[in-house]
Amino acid sequence: MSQSLPVPTTPARSRLMSSVRQTGTTPELLIQEMLRFLGFRFEVKAKDLPGTPDIVNHSSKWAIFVHGCFWHAHNCSLSRIPKTNPEFWKQKFSDNQKRDKKKLRALRKRGYSVLTLWQCQLEDGETTRNSILRFLPENNNHSGNGHLAHIVEPQPKATNAGPETYKYGTRLRRISRSVITTNGTAFLTKFQVPNGVSLHQGARAIFDQTFLRSKHEMSHGLLRGAVRVVDLFSGCGGLSLGAREASTAVGRRFESLLAVDQDASSLQVYEANFNPKLTHDSDICNLLTASVGEKLQPCEKELVKKLGTVDLQLAGPPCQGHSDLNNHTRRRDKRNKLYEKVARLAEITGPEHILVENVPTVIHAWGRALEKTVQQLIMLGYRVDVGIVDLAELGVPQRRKRHVLIASHSRSISIEDVVEKHRVETKRSVRWAIADLRAKRLNGTFDVPSKLTEQNVRRINHLLRHQLYDLPNRQRPICHHGEHSYKSMYGRLRYNELAQTITSGFGSPGQGRFIHPTQSRTLTPHEAARLQFFPDAFDFSSVTLRTALANMIGNAVPMKLSYVFTLEFLT
């Protein structure tokens, strides 16, 4: 059995730091001696790797850089710009930081986990030791005397996804995510993996499954600086949830400045989870009263004053007006013009980055709302890209495609490139998302399925009894007895496949393939929320009406969408 790493007593730590200083004056020698004391094996000056890491373990694929604060422009008291020829030094330090970031990315591409230790940190031996132990247990399994211990658990493959590295540590049964931040350091977030999460999958899949099932927040270091966010047409907060997780991943706080939505129940859930500074629960046209290019109106001036600096603007304009399922308006819906309010808010608040999602058919919207918004954002100085994203490729366990618009003042970002960076190796199934909820029964609305008519119960039992996934026409309503294209309606989900697109009708067999794979019922709101990538830690407790709960879950945006794009904005 694996034992704990040696933890020296305080006097022993003092002797360690004293003896290390006697071996030499360089920071590299100090860290080497500390690693030997803790029982870790390593090599030094790995010239075969990008950037020649100071300390490396090739077999476990980890590397450590020990940086001087002056030359690498660390944000501390040891870093300063010389008064002589300051422009030269500014450029030199900037080049050094770019070079550092480039070599970190190159190492990550080779599958290495990287830790950067700074000169200023080394004066505090306890802090340095804790930094090393937080970094290395996910990469090593030691016995008390520093030798490798016998490993009895599966060894999930470490996963690189864009700027992220995911690793599973068997000794502490902990899953970690490491992201290289803008200053070139790695920020680590961790979860304790609960029982029931499969270890026979990649490390990223373990992290995501733990994220969904955990009722507790992940552990991480101190968050420095804020990402200030506004969310238009916020719903209950799917986009904000992804942006918050991306902010945490890079070591920054998520600060909700404004949430706008006409649905009071959804906005109440948003407030419970994100504590926004301001909310607006009526028509957005009452908040943004003018169009792009027009003079600021009094209410807009007041809004700008209250918001201050905005880093990220999120928006999910109402999609019903663009939907092919809307038989009433056929895309000629006045709600389509609400899309253009995205550009107006961008004009008056000047966010650094913008993310807007909608249904793919928004490109056909009446009044060319999408085209006008893109043109307006370009006129405002933004670099814009648009495209369709299949969320199953990002790990969402359902068939769901969304139209995405991204805009940035400072960066040119390709939607296609971001999806390619974060594409999962294996798409997640219904079983992966909800199998652990099969036996869960509570009295609350969240965990209880809809009450079905006797006729629908007979239909579901027919599917289960005959091991069918599509209901025969003779068992359907009379209007389905002939030729029709509604095959998925009254259908049963397959455990080992993606779910159908989750809509607000997930509680009704007649509105889609929403029948549970093995039980005589439809999906519960809890199961639908999981398929929409809402974690168990997300608070829906303020909602008591089933219809309100179904609408906010079905209309939400899986957080994986905003997570990957916000991460791209911030790294």
3-state helix vs strand vs coil in the chain, percent to 5: 40, 15, 45
| DSSP label at residue 397 | S
What order of strands is seen across the sheet that includes strand 278-280? 278-280, 253-260, 226-232, 312-315, 353-358, 401-408, 383-390
Check residue 537 and give left, alpha or beta (phi > 0: left; psi -120 to 50: alpha): alpha
- State the helix-helix crossing angle for 10-23 and 125-135, rounded to 10 degrees: 90
Which two three-digit tokens encode residue 183?
């200053």
Per-position DSSP letters for 284-335, written without gaps between them: GGGTS-S-TTSPPPHHHHHHHHHH---SEEEE----GGG-TT-TTTTT--GG
* 549 closest CA partner among 540, 537, 557, 561: 540
SS3 category, 158: coil
Could you tell me if 452 and 509 are in contact, meaning their C-beta atoms sit under 8 angstroms apart? yes
Which two three-digit tokens encode residue 346?
């961008």
Judge whether 319 counts as a catalytic residue.
yes
Could you tell me if 320 and 326 are in contact, meaning their C-beta atoms sit under 8 angstroms apart? yes
User: 193-212: string of b/e by CB count within 10 Å (b at 16+)?
Assistant: beeebeeebbbbbbbbbbbb
* 273 closest CA partner among 527, 533, 534: 534
Q: Which residues pair with 255 in a beta bridge?
A: 228
Pairing of strands 312-315, 353-358: parallel
Could you tell me if 28 and 66 are in contact, meaning their C-beta atoms sit under 8 angstroms apart? yes
SS3 category, 160: strand
What values do phi and psi take at 48, rounded to 5? -80, -5
Which two three-digit tokens encode residue 196?
């029931």
Could you tell me if 557 and 239 are in contact, meaning their C-beta atoms sit under 8 angstroms apart? yes
Could you tell me if 421 and 160 are in contact, meaning their C-beta atoms sit under 8 angstroms apart? no
Q: Which residues pair with 407 in a beta bridge?
A: 354, 384
Q: Which residues pair with 383 in a beta bridge?
A: 408
Longest dimension (CA), the chain: 89
Choosing from 69, 120, 319, 479, which is the catalytic residue? 319
Could you tell me if 77 and 120 are in contact, meaning their C-beta atoms sit under 8 angstroms apart? yes
| Active site residue ranges | 319
